[in-house]
């Protein structure tokens, strides 16, 4: 009887389990990773899923980025999918329906009434007999960004703007002219600089407007700069080059016996590079191997001695230091910084980036051609033999610390003469 009772209970549990409905698997969204991420999902914003991936919203198929191979059907069905650039997307409109929630309402801009010509001419203030009109105040307030404009929606704030940004400006300008500040060298220099800035800006805008970037232009850039898009796995590494094994052994002992703390070892490494390395080319870069185009050491890299590459690739951890190795140049103490992963970006995947890169190059080239034309027009002559008479004061002043191991902060790079155009 006791056995029959247990069997009856077991059968009852099985029947209840069989009748319990299985949780429906989501089709149009991935479960959010937390309550905060769920709120973002329900608002149609970028959110992190339970799978650890970041999902960005996309409004429609027309605006949806190209899918990665194997994800095309999911994209066409407006389900969460991976893009060709590795990012993940979802369609909020589909997700909202599946979640059974009402889509959040888009913010609507307040209705503005167009001023009549008569209203635009009506005065709001007068300075020295000259009227400041409704149209002028209206134009200046609405020229500001939307979030800023909201601060001046009430009449008292409009009056504040009028006094601070228009009337005071007129009064100060008139006072400056009365004091003959127009003749001040600083004012003249600022005016000239502003005039040059406007000319440069307008010229770049004109060049950009007339550009015609073709697939052939982008393919040429892709092939000429292939190493930006296709790179093998490589190591970012540094070395200290000395003449003798005794020196190398001493350096190796000092760096490996130091406290096992990356920040401490980095500080000691920089000091040892500056003190001992005879490689002037890498010394100013903390001993970094390679150059601007060849930043990483790949396996069997023909640009480096085999003994050097073998020693580096034998290091399995970041910030590890190899025992001294000898090449024709001397003895090297080697340090591995980190592994640069291999990349293989196809032309189609890089197209959007190529558009910006080619545009930048074309604008820079055409701008320089224009500058060269101005040089010819205005008869510019160079006298390079006299450059040696220009002396540069190399006296070092105490530099502020940058907060990283007490190492001096890097000075900002010198800006190029030709402007670097801003990506659209």
| CA–CA distance, 106 with 84 (Å, rounded to integer) | 29
- Where does CATH 3.10.50.40 sit in the chain? 232-344
Indicate the pLDDT class of residue 63, thresholds 50, 70 and 90.
Answer: confident
| CA–CA distance, 291 with 301 (Å, rounded to integer) | 14
Please determine, for residue 22, whether its predicted confidence score (pLDDT) is greater than 90.
no
3-class SS of residue 114:
coil
Tokens 């003249």 belong to which residue? 188
Cα 260 → chain centroid: 33
CB 326 within 8 A of CB 310: no
Q: What are the backbone dihedrals phi and psi of residue 68, each rounded to the nearest 5 degrees, phi first?
A: -70, 155
Closest by Cα among 315, 302, 300, 293 to 238: 315
Tokens 């319990």 belong to which residue? 20
Write out pLDDT tens, residues 255-306.
998 877 878 888 999 999 999 999 998 998 899 998 766 778 998 888 899 9
Tokens 């401490």 belong to which residue? 264
Indicate the pLDDT class of residue 112, thresholds 50, 70 and 90.
Answer: low
Considering the four listed CATH numbers 1.20.1640, 2.30.30, 1.20.272, 1.10.8, the one that applies to the domain covering 117-183 is: 1.10.8
Closest by Cα among 142, 137, 107 to 121: 137
Closest by Cα among 295, 248, 291 to 272: 248
| CA–CA distance, 45 with 147 (Å, rounded to integer) | 20
Give the pLDDT score at 105.
65
Give the pLDDT score at 358.
96
Q: Read off the pLDDT of each residue in 7-23 and give the average, rounded to a whole number.
A: 46
CB 339 within 8 A of CB 233: yes
Q: Which CATH architecture has domain 232-344?
A: Roll (3.10)
Q: What percent of the chain has pLDDT over 70?
A: 85
3-class SS of residue 48:
strand
Please determine, for residue 412, whether its predicted confidence score (pLDDT) is greater than 50.
no
Higher pLDDT residue, 84 or 23? Answer: 84
Mean per-residue pLDDT of the chain: 84
Tokens 């919203």 belong to which residue? 57
End-to-end distance of the chain based on CA atoms, in angstroms?
82
Write out pLDDT tens, residues 327-385.
999 999 999 999 999 999 999 999 999 999 999 999 999 999 999 999 999 998 989 89
Angle at which helices 215-224 and 351-377 pack, to 10 degrees?
90
CB 316 within 8 A of CB 303: no
3-class SS of residue 173:
helix
3-class SS of residue 147:
helix
CB atoms within 10 A of CB 26: 13
Q: Read off the pLDDT of each residue in 53-77 and give the average, rounded to a whole number.
A: 87
- The residues near 127 (Cβ < 8 Å, ≥ 6 apart) are 167, 170, 171
Indicate the pLDDT class of residue 106, thresholds 50, 70 and 90.
Answer: low
| Pairing state between β 330-340 and 230-231 | unpaired
- Where does CATH 1.10.8 sit in the chain? 117-183
DSSP string, 226-288: GGGTEE--EEEEEEEEES-HHHHHHHHHHHHSS-S-HHHHHHHHHHHHHHH---HHHHTTTTB
CB 31 within 8 A of CB 49: yes
CB 289 within 8 A of CB 238: yes
Q: What are the backbone dihedrals phi and psi of residue 240, each rounded to the nearest 5 degrees, phi first?
A: -120, 120
Give the pLDDT score at 262.
79
Q: In the sheet where 54-57 sits, what is the strand order?
A: 47-48, 54-57, 88-90, 81-82
């Amino acid at each position: 009887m006791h056995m029959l009772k247990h069997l009856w209970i077991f059968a009852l549990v099985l029947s209840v389990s069989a009748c319990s409905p299985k949780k429906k698997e989501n089709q149009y969204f991935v479960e959010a990773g937390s309550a905060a991420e769920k709120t973002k999902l329900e608002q149609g914003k970028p959110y992190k899923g339970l799978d650890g991936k970041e999902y960005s919203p996309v409004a429609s198929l027309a605006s949806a980025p190209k899918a990665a191979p194997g994800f095309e059907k999911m994209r066409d069905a407006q389900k969460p999918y991976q893009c060709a650039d590795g990012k993940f997307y979802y369609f909020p409109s589909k997700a909202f329906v599946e979640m059974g929630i009402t889509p959040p309402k888009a913010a609507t801009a307040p209705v503005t009434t167009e001023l009549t010509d008569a209203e635009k001419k009506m005065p709001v203030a007068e300075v020295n007999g000259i009227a400041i009109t409704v149209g002028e105040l209206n134009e200046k307030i609405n020229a500001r960004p939307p979030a800023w404009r909201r601060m001046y929606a009430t009449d008292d704030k409009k009056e504040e703007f009028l006094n601070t940004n228009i009337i005071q400006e007129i009064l100060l300008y008139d006072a400056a002219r009365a004091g003959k500040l127009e003749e001040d060298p600083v004012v003249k220099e600022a005016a000239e600089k502003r005039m040059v800035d406007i000319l440069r800006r307008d010229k770049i805008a004109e060049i950009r407007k007339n550009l015609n970037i073709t697939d052939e232009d982008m393919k040429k850039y892709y092939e000429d700069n292939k190493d930006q898009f296709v790179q093998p796995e490589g190591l970012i590494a540094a070395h200290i080059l000395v003449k003798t094994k005794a020196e190398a052994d001493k350096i190796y002992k000092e760096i490996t016996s130091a406290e096992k703390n990356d920040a401490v070892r980095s500080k000691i490494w920089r000091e040892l590079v500056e003190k001992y390395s005879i490689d002037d080319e890498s010394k100013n870069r903390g001993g970094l191997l390679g150059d601007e185009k060849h930043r990483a050491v790949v396996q069997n890299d023909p640009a480096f001695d085999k003994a050097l590459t073998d020693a580096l690739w034998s290091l399995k951890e970041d910030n590890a230091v190899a025992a001294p190795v000898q090449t024709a140049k001397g003895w090297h103490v080697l340090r591995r910084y980190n592994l640069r992963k291999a990349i293989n970006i196809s032309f189609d995947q890089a197209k959007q980036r190529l558009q910006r890169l080619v545009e930048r190059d074309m604008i820079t080239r055409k701008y320089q051609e224009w500058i060269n034309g101005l040089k010819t027009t205005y008869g510019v002559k160079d006298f390079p033999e006299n450059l040696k008479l220009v002396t540069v004061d190399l006296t070092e002043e105490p530099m502020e610390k940058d907060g990283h191991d007490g190492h001096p902060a890097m000075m900002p790079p010198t800006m190029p003469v030709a402007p670097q155009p801003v990506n659209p």
